[in-house]
Amino acid sequence: MPVQFSSKLQSLLIPPTRVVVFTGAGISAESGVPTFRGENGLWNEFRVEELATPQAFAAHPGRVWEWYGWRRQLIARIQPNPAHLAVAKFEKYFANCCLVTQNVDGLHSRAGSERILRLHGDIWEVRCVACGLHGTDLREVLPSLPPCCECGGTLRPGVVWFGEMLPAGVFESAVQAVESCGLFFSVGTSAEVFPAAQLPAIARRHGAYVVEVNIERSAAAHEAHEVLLGKAGEILPELAAHLQDTPAGRSTPETESR
């Protein structure tokens, strides 16, 4: 059955509209990436304090490293789904489009998105616990023990663990994009992890038209002007199909929509 969405939303699907797409685990779950919460979430099988905290890595670096190696191998076999591809199409179509994601799996990049604010880091990146040096390691199979940085420090997964701050400046950049957008999509997120969960409310407070796309209503659904229930891999491609043929680069300042 075709997705029913409002004439207001259709009117905003034009290149001058400033757009923010905010994604969570639900969009990648449709590709087969395990989520952390829910009936089959990873935290039902593994203990967060043993695998996703700085204390866990300090106490058992090999065990933590192996678990992230297992996750990388799993994700490496998974492909972006139609929702990821639709988000990449939005970026190419809208003159101002920003993707803000809580996901660390890299599927948005593989789908073609380039302007990405990664709130929780990147599982394909490593970071030195001593000097802070960042690097990218795209190997599918990782050593069983954490490798060392050139400085001699231990390299750890480049993700945000429980109890850690978000990467410097990333959330601030996300808020800046949200405050200036005219159309805000919240896709596949439970809106239960802060500070990211604040973004739908920030968008609405600053005048954006807020659209939630989810299997079920999230904790922030009351902030949405429009809630589209269903799979992101079905809904977002239908929205993308309504985009006009005008390339984003042809928009003019006179017609720019907030």
**Catalytic residue positions?**
120
Q: Which helix (H) or strand (E) holds 27?
A: helix 25-29
What is the per-residue burial (b if ≥16 Cβ within 10 Å, else e) of 150-187? eeebbbbbbbbbeeeebbeebbeebbebbebbbbbbbb
Contacts 24+ apart (CB under 8 A), 163-169: 163/53, 163/54, 163/55, 164/54, 166/119, 166/120, 166/195, 167/118, 167/119, 167/121
Sheet strands side by side (includes 116-118): 116-118, 96-101, 18-23, 183-187, 209-214, 226-229
Q: How far is CA 57 from CA 63, 118, 258, in A?
A: 8, 22, 44
**Please, what sign has the CA dihedral across residues 25, 29, 32, 34?**
positive
What are the CA-CA distances from residue 61 to residues 36, 45, 124, 129, 184 (Å)?
A: 21, 19, 17, 12, 39
Burial of 238 per CB tally in 10 Å (0-12, 13-18, 19+): middle
Sign of the dihedral through C-alpha 240, 88, 184, 34: positive
